[in-house]
Structure 1
Amino acid sequence: MKDNNEPMVGVMTFTSNVFMSNSAKQPPMNDRIQTITLTFNEQLDVKTVSDSVALYTIKRDGALVKETISFQIDCDDKNTIMINNQMVRTFTGGEAYKIEISSKLKAVTGATLAEDYVGYFATNTLFNFTDIPDLNNERSQIVIISDLHLGIDDAFAETVANKQALASFLNQVKTSPHISELVITGDLFDGWFLPMEYDLPDTQDEFFDGVAANNHVIVNAFNDIIQAGDIKVTYVPGNHDILLTEADVARILPGINQARDENQGLGTYVTGKNSEIAIEHGHRWNIFCTPDPISNREITKNTTSILPPGYFFTRIATNSLREGQPKDTTNTFPIVNPPDQTDVSQFGYYVLWRIWQGVMELLPVYENSAEKLIKTNIDGFTETYAINDLFPYENEAGVIDVKLYKNMQDTWDERQEINGIKVKIPYIEALAKAATFDFTDDQAQNQFFDLDASKRIVVFGHTHVGRVLPRTNPAGEKTIYANSGTWIDRNPGYPTMTFVVITQAKTDSAIDTVNLYQYSNEKTITQWCEGQAIIQ
């Protein structure tokens, strides 16, 4: 029988300064670890420490290599163990670790852990252009930039003030001993952000050559990287450069790699040691930005015409932003009455009308909406259009119709099929969520992680909202979505001059890491958000 005067032996718990999980598939990222500090809820029995804690590095083949570690009990806090590596230096970046704490570890009261503890964590590989000892002199970093929006005329282009910084950034990329790839994820040249009244050149080649000439410092910097041959440079199409053809890119940036679908204006670049990385612009799933090879064929008489409605939206937005989004306009737009919702086609037109109404409330212009102002001469379009040509209207018979993008609501599913959208998006949802960046970000899960277990990292641009987010695939493995942001001069509410860095696992290491950074005019680099790691 137990003596009632015998002290009760409790159960120990602990906290750590290192983020850990109990899943080998999902080790949390830690930016920098000098010392692992484990703080228990009771004073420890020093004699039990050294045989009760073990640390292992996880190698690419899954093998565990036991680390030589040193222990120290905090002089001022006997509840705390401080663990260092043998050299008492910062733990090597870009590694996955396993820590074991045995229930043989005891408190002076005799208390133990309820059971053996096993935890997993990863260490980040931080980025600079010159010296990263943790990379063992390997070229293992992929730099991803997007949404440069280089324009044909600095009088209205979105990227003017940041061009010098961009050139400086690219010059540093060129000399980096760690970078293996540079990926341009769309919207390199901007063929959309033009005033409505802008006179386009006679040919598309002439337009893009003009953009290149206006941004020759940036083009030269890209060409210097390509010609040096140490870094693979890849271009992926975006929506603002949807008409930039393979031949255009090859002419302006000779020797560059291009990742393109069979159809113009889309592409996915797959890279990584295990083809685990998928990179594309992100406009494929946006009803206003993904190619439209159907709606305007009667107007363009062109079997290759693909300009989506976002092109005309952006032309209008250019004027609105240049005019300061004026609120004292007197424009009137077509009036449409709500149809019977059972008439899916007519109701689809009505929802489109509501969307355009909201657009013009957000981006009003001084120009008369009924006046022919939007000059084209592009992709088979030859007329000058009015803003109202984009608005559905009721004809004399009370039937809703539209001039541009006729029957867009009825052909959306066919358009998705042509554009390789694997998980179809309902028309109303596609309209309602087109302007939300979360909708685009979510397609990394819907169109990649949920469908293909081999894809562990997906990077988009398009939204201008740089971020790095952990995700999980159906197999329970950690995946990572990142957005590379933008380099435009003004990006209200969000950073600009951002880029993503994927550090691939070193020869004998198990993890890839993903980080978002911001460049500055002072040539400094700032980590913008917490990085993430996946174990291979």
Structure 2
Amino acid sequence: MNFSRRDFIRSLGVGAGTFVALNVSGCSGGSDSDSDSGANPLWDTGDARNKIIIISDLHLGVDDNYTETLQNRPLLIKFLQSLQNTKDVRELVIAGDFLDEWYLPVYYYPLYTDQDQFYRNVIANNQSVFDELNKVITSGIKLVYVPGNHDLTLRASVLQAAIPGLFQASSENSNGDPQGLGAYYTGDRNEIVIEHGHRYDVFSAPDTISNEALCGNPGTTILPAGYFYARYAATWVLEGQPSVPQSLPEITDADFSAIQTESNIADQSGAYTYHKILRSISNRMTPYESRYFDAEVKIFQMRISGFNDDYSYKDFYPDIQTDGDGKRFISAPKLFKNIQTTWAARQTANKVKVPENTFASSVTGAVVAPAFPESYFTWAKANYLENPAEANVEVVVFGHTHVPARRDTDSGKCYLNSGTWIDHNANSTVGSRTFAVVTTGSSGKDVTALYQFVDAGNVVDVTATVSS
């Protein structure tokens, strides 16, 4: 199975917009609002407030040099203004990747240690969006936020200060999920559940286990491998996506066959899959080693989330290692060492209802997700739509993949993906500025649809296009 460069980088948490380039206009402040209180509603409204709108993957950046949503930010504001006058909307749910801590080059300065202040800076750079979100609440619409992977370190108190009337489906509101995760149940019959979707993704799910011994900070090293790869990819993009030969170790099939019988370390098949995928990714993302660094130089200066050291690219690149008994095994030498052996514990810690059986299948599913949304449909079915313990759930909505989608189960239940609002979404034929709508009722089947916002008072129903 062949995957494009976009597919691989998207899977690591760096959006399709990176393939156009980071915005370098130098604009700042996010002052895009023209305060159009008379904006047309999104559609002709009914009498009852029975519609729940889900948007996700806004990816608002700390600086307009490092954002995937610059051209679409004024349109996002117009959407929020139209929403305020759409009187049959009950709730607006932001399903993760609202603010972005991942879309930064490795040499982003100043080196920050205060993540709360970082997010406050993101908010300040997009103040016009926050002004309209507060007006959405004033208009009578409930506003809800669910964490994503790009903002999994965002503390509820920071966001609450910016949007006082916001409801957050996060750990700090005691919903039972750990930091960086949330599931929001809603609808007249509590039949709708909304998540970002990164809980099921090896590269993006919170990881407080793999590096806790290395850093000596149990429970705090939450950033998953995808965070590091995203920063590396952003660096490559800023350099103009050069094609530079890399000198990274390769493990052959013959090496793997020998190690599989020799190793004392569990799941070497999973480790080998991880190596192959990272090697393929690393051969696509090729920053200028001579300009900034090579794979052995300590480029990741980490002083956040329990990390307090400098790391090289090879520190998390799987290679053949040797244990104290002289037996060989496949693992990264430092960061995410033997990550395959912690996946089961990570799923337990992250409260996955129906865990994946193998690390290798989870890694592969995460990587192919942009090209094959069925990966997330499969996880939605296993954990909700076909899970007897969640029999009440009829509709599941995820974000994360940036691919708007609608899928039905054999029993007539529904999975939706809300897509994204980044400027350039090459992963979907529909493009960007998409959102999901679920019309709930006390009896009968919910009505589900996906729309694209074109401009004020102009939306397009794309449900048929994204369904299969």
Q: TM-score, normalised by structure 1?
A: 0.70
**Code of the aligned partner of 2:229:** F
**Code of the aligned partner of 1:185:** A
2:5 aligns to what? none
Gaps of 5+ in 1: 1-127
Which of the pair has more CA radius of gyration? 1
Instruction: Give the one of 310, 316, 327 matched to 1:390.
Output: 316
SS across alignment from 2:234: helix
SS across alignment from 1:340: helix
Q: Does 1:245 align with 2:183?
A: no
> Residues 136-193 of structure 1: CA distance to partner in whole angstroms, max 9, x if unpaired?
x111111100000001011121111110000110111122211100000000000111
Shift of 1:369: 1.8
Q: Does 1:408 align with 2:332?
A: no
Within 2, Cα distance between the matches of 1:130 and 1:379?
41
> Residues 303-342 of structure 1: CA distance to partner in whole angstroms, max 9, x if unpaired?
3221110100111111223333322x13211343324335
1:289 aligns to what? 204
Instruction: Give the one of 240, 249, 274 matched to 1:324.
Output: 240
1:46 aligns to what? none
2:164 aligns to what? 254
Within 2, Cα distance between the matches of 1:499 and 1:332?
43
Shift of 1:516: 0.5
Shift of 1:348: 3.2
More helix by share: 2
Within 2, Cα distance between the matches of 1:146 and 1:263?
20
Shift of 1:489: 0.6
SS across alignment from 1:517: strand
Q: Does 1:308 align with 2:228?
A: no
Shift of 1:252: 2.1
**Code of the aligned partner of 1:519:** F
Matches within 5 A, 1:67-146: 129=41, 132=44, 135=46, 137-146=47-56
Matches within 5 A, 1:355-366: 355-366=277-288
Any conservation in 2 of the 1:146–1:188 contact (CA below 8 Å)? yes
Superposition CA RMSD, Å: 2.1
Shift of 1:299: 3.0
Any conservation in 2 of the 1:196–1:316 contact (CA below 8 Å)? yes
| Greater length-normalized contact order (CA 8 Å, ≥ 6 residues apart) | 2
Within 2, Cα distance between the matches of 1:177 and 1:483?
24
Within 1, Cα distance between the matches of 2:64 and 2:131?
18
Q: TM-score, normalised by structure 2?
A: 0.80
SS across alignment from 1:511: coil
2:8 aligns to what? none
Q: Does 1:459 align with 2:397?
A: yes
Any conservation in 1 of the 2:43–2:457 contact (CA below 8 Å)? no
Within 1, Cα distance between the matches of 2:133 and 2:217?
33
SS across alignment from 1:394: strand
2:13 aligns to what? none
Shift of 1:532: 11
Shift of 1:522: 5.9
User: Which segment drifts farther, 196-205 or 489-498?
Assistant: 196-205
Instruction: Give the one of 66, 71, 78 matched to 1:168.
Output: 78
1:48 aligns to what? none
Within 1, Cα distance between the matches of 2:395 and 2:465?
13
How many residues were matched structurally?
396
**Code of the aligned partner of 1:129:** P
Within 2, Cα distance between the matches of 1:430 and 1:262?
21
Q: 1:333 to 1:523 in 2, by over 3 A?
A: farther
Shift of 1:229: 5.4
Identity of aligned residues (%): 37
**Code of the aligned partner of 2:155:** T
Within 2, Cα distance between the matches of 1:416 and 1:259?
19
Within 2, Cα distance between the matches of 1:322 and 1:524?
35
Any conservation in 2 of the 1:514–1:532 contact (CA below 8 Å)? no
Shift of 1:415: 1.1
Within 1, Cα distance between the matches of 2:305 and 2:427?
34
Any conservation in 2 of the 1:483–1:500 contact (CA below 8 Å)? yes
Shift of 1:523: 5.2
1:340 aligns to what? 259
Instruction: Give the one of 127, 131, 135 matched to 1:220.
Output: 131
Q: 1:348 to 1:246 in 2, by over 3 A?
A: same
Within 2, Cα distance between the matches of 1:180 and 1:240?
27
Any conservation in 2 of the 1:146–1:461 contact (CA below 8 Å)? yes
2:274 aligns to what? 352
Gaps of 5+ in 2: 1-39, 171-175
1:525 aligns to what? 459
Any conservation in 2 of the 1:468–1:531 contact (CA below 8 Å)? no
